[in-house]
Amino acid sequence: MCLPVKTSRVNPALACKGIMMTQPTSLLTELASINGVVLQLPDEAVAPDELRQRAYSELLRQEAMAQGLLSKDDAATADGVLSEAASDAIELLLEKNLAIPEPSDEACRRHHAAHQATYSTGERVHVRHILFAVTPGIDVVALRNRAETTLLDVRCHDGQALDDTFAKAASTMSNCPTGAEGGNLGWLVHADCAPEFAKELFGHKEIGVLPRLVHSRFGLHVVEILQREAGVEQPFEVVRGAVTQSLKQQTYVTALRQYMQLLAGAAVIEGVDIEAADTPLVQ
């Protein structure tokens, strides 16, 4: 089975829209706050990306209060978990403040023409991989060096020698349970994979060991495409709805990022690094 999409205890309005979904690379111990509201427990070490998630959620929670969508009695928590009322209020806040226009028919057709492989059906790949997982506290530089060395090692072989080398490396170094099976992920379709992983598998037409490491929210992957079966391209009229939703999602992410920059620019932020803007004319 391919890699599942990781979930976490953060505001779903941010997580599901693609804001700050990268895997943490180190831990922080410095206390952080938004307008005096502490984002972590006194003895809690929080990964930088999770801390930013908490900061974004708190900015939205406070703005929901300011706009009268959330009671002033809603209690802030230092563990990053929002109340149900706060989550509902944030959804209303975003609906109220983010105007997402319908993409034009011309824009949809251009997008479809440029990404026809994305809207094909039936394409699948037979894959194996070696996962070097990025976990809290890990030395990322050393991890990358191991991954790069392994990639170079397996690319220096072919035929049966590659089979043996790849399988051995997967069994001894991969952080995925598939390591016991030589890293074999089996036959996968686009929907089986996390988006960033699928992009690398289906965005190219290589067969063999991919020439670079594949980055995902889970870590670094050495990937070999064993076989490909081409999909059937779908005409625009058949996938019009999916194309429209894809473009609206892209617009939403851009609008949300700009909105968060404005909120951050008006806030007093301590101990956490988030992008801020001091003007509404952000791009």
The tally of CA atoms less than 13 A away on the side-chain side of residue 38 is: 11
Res 27: pLDDT: 42
Identify which has the larger pLDDT, 177 or 31: 177
Confidence of residue 236 (pLDDT cuts 50, 70, 90): very high
| Confidence (pLDDT) at 20 | 38
pLDDT top residue among 257 and 7: 257
Domain boundaries, the chain: 12-102+245-270, 122-229
Query: String of b and e for 128-147 (b: at least 16 CB within 10 Å)?
Result: bbbbbebeeebebeebeeeb
| Other Cβ atoms within 10 Å of 216 Cβ, number | 24
Task: Report pLDDT for 187.
Answer: 95
Q: Write the pLDDT tens digit of every residue in 11-22.
A: 444 443 444 333
Portion of the chain with pLDDT greater than 90, in percent: 49
pLDDT digits (tens, 9 = 90+) for 111-164: 999 988 778 777 899 999 999 998 888 888 899 999 999 999 898 876 666 778
pLDDT of residue 158: 67
245-266 burial: b if 16+ Cβ within 10 Å, else e: ebbeeebeeebbbbbbbbbbee
- For 122-229, CATH number out of 3.40.50.720, 3.10.50.40, 3.30.2310.20, 3.30.390.30 equals 3.10.50.40
